[in-house]
Structure 1
Amino acid sequence: MVNIPLHTGDGAGRRERILDAAHKLFRSQGYEHTGTREIAVEAGVGEGTIFYHFGSKAGVLEALSRRFSSQLLESLSAGEPMEALAFPILIDRAFDYVHRFGLHHQQLGLPLDSPELTHFMIAENEIHLAFIRSVLEAHRLSGKLRQDVDIKAAAEILLAVLAHAILTVFAYGRRDEEAAFRREVNRVAAAFLKSSI
C-alpha cells in the first residue's frame, strides 16, 4: 500500500492543489494518460477528494479550462476600465499570454482534435465573446463607436480573426511569422473599428 502524505486545510486550498497537480500532470503526461489517483498523489489528497470537489476527471478538466479563461481575461484587462482598453493592447496581451502559458489545449494536455477540447472550447468561446462585447459596448457608451454598430457581430469577427492568428502562430508552428500576424490582426481590427466610428 502506498502512503500518501495528506495535507490538511480548507476546501479551497485542496481544490487549488488538485487543479495545480492536474495541470502539471496533464501537461507532462497528457489528459488521457493521467488518472485521478495520480492527481491525488501529486496534490497530497485522497482520491475521493477529487470526486467530492469535481465529480470526475472531466470535472477537473472543466475547472482548469475555466481557470485558464479567467487568467486570460485578467491578463487582457489588467484591471483597466473597459473603455480604456484599446484593441492593439488587447491583441498584444493575448499573444503575450499564449507565450507565457501556452495554448488552451497545451495547458490541458489535449490534442487539437480531442472531443474534450472541442466541448470546452465552445463553452469558453462564449466567455471570450462576452469579454470582447463588454469592451465594444464600453467603447460605444464612451462615444468611440457608433450607436448602430452590431456589437455581437463585431465581437465574433474580432475574436475569429484573433483566434485564427494565434492558432496559426502557436499551434501550427509559424512563430517566425508572429510579428506579421500581429500586424494583420491589428490592421483588420483597426479597419473594422474605423468603419464603426
Structure 2
Amino acid sequence: MGHDAGGKRDAILLAAGKVFAERGYHATGISDIARELGAGHGTFYRYFKNKEDIARSVVSRALGQVMEALADEEPGASEDLAQYREQVRRIGHKLFDLVAAEPALCRILFYDAVTIDRAEPELAGRAMEAAAAYTAAFIHNGQDRGFLRRDLDAHVVGLAVNGMILTGAVRLLHAQDAESMREPWIRTVETLMFDGLGSS
C-alpha cells in the first residue's frame, strides 16, 4: 500500500470514528461514512471488507493512539517517590490531552468496542488485559520500591486504576468545560493511588 493509500485509509477511519461517535455503531451505515468523507461507496471496499472491518480498524487505531501517547513512559523508570508521583501526573495529563483532542476516540473505545466485540470477541478483552498489564507494571514498581502497599494484587489494582481513568474519560465526553475537569480528575486518581493505596 502506497503513502496515498495509507492516507486515504486514515481519512476513512477518521470519518468513520466521527460518525460512529455521533450515531453509534449500529445506527451507522456505510452511506453515512461516505457522506462524512464526501466519497462514493466504492472507496470503502478498496480498503475494507465491510462496516465491521472499518469498526475494528477504528478501535485498533484508537488503542494504538493510546499506546503511542504512553510509549515513552517506562513503567519501571521512577526510582524515588517524587519521580513516581510526577510520572503518574504526567501520564494523567497525556491521557487527558488525548481525550480532549479526540473525544470521538473515547466514544469508540467505551461505547462501540463492546458492540464490535461480538464480531471479534477478543478485541475488547485483549485491549483491557494489555492496559491492565501496563498499569500493573507501574503498580509493581511502586510496591517494589515501597511507595505503595505490598499486600494488594498489582493486577487487580491496575484494573481498578484503569477503571477510574475510564470513568473520568467518559465523564469528560459530557462535560461542558472539559478543561476545568483536568486538575480535579488527575488529582483524584493520584490521591486515591497514594493516600488510598500508599504505604504508611
TM-score, structure 2 length as denominator?
A: 0.66
Structure 1 residue 131 corresponds to structure 2 residue 117 = no
Q: Which residue in the other structure is 1:116 paired with?
A: 115
Structure 2: which 5+ residue stretches go unaligned? 79-86
Structure 1 residue 101 corresponds to structure 2 residue 105 = no
Greater RCO, CA 8 A, separation 6+? 2
TM-score, structure 1 length as denominator?
A: 0.66
Q: 2:60 aligns with which of 54, 63, 66?
A: 66
| Alignment-mate amino acid for residue 152 of structure 1 | H
Q: Which residue in the other structure is 2:14 paired with?
A: 20
Percent sequence identity over aligned pairs: 22
Alignment of 1:25-104 (within 5 A): 25-27=19-21, 31-37=25-31, 39=33, 42=37, 47=42, 50-51=44-45, 53-75=47-69, 77-84=70-77, 86-102=87-103, 104=105
Q: 1:187 aligns with which of 186, 191, 194?
A: 191
Structure 1 residue 160 corresponds to structure 2 residue 163 = yes
Give the Cα–Cα distance (whole angstroms) in 2 for the partners of residues 61 and 113 of structure 1. Answer: 8
| Cα RMSD, aligned residues only | 4.0
Corresponding pairs, count = 185
Give the Cα–Cα distance (whole angstroms) in 2 for the partners of residues 188 and 147 of structure 1. Answer: 15
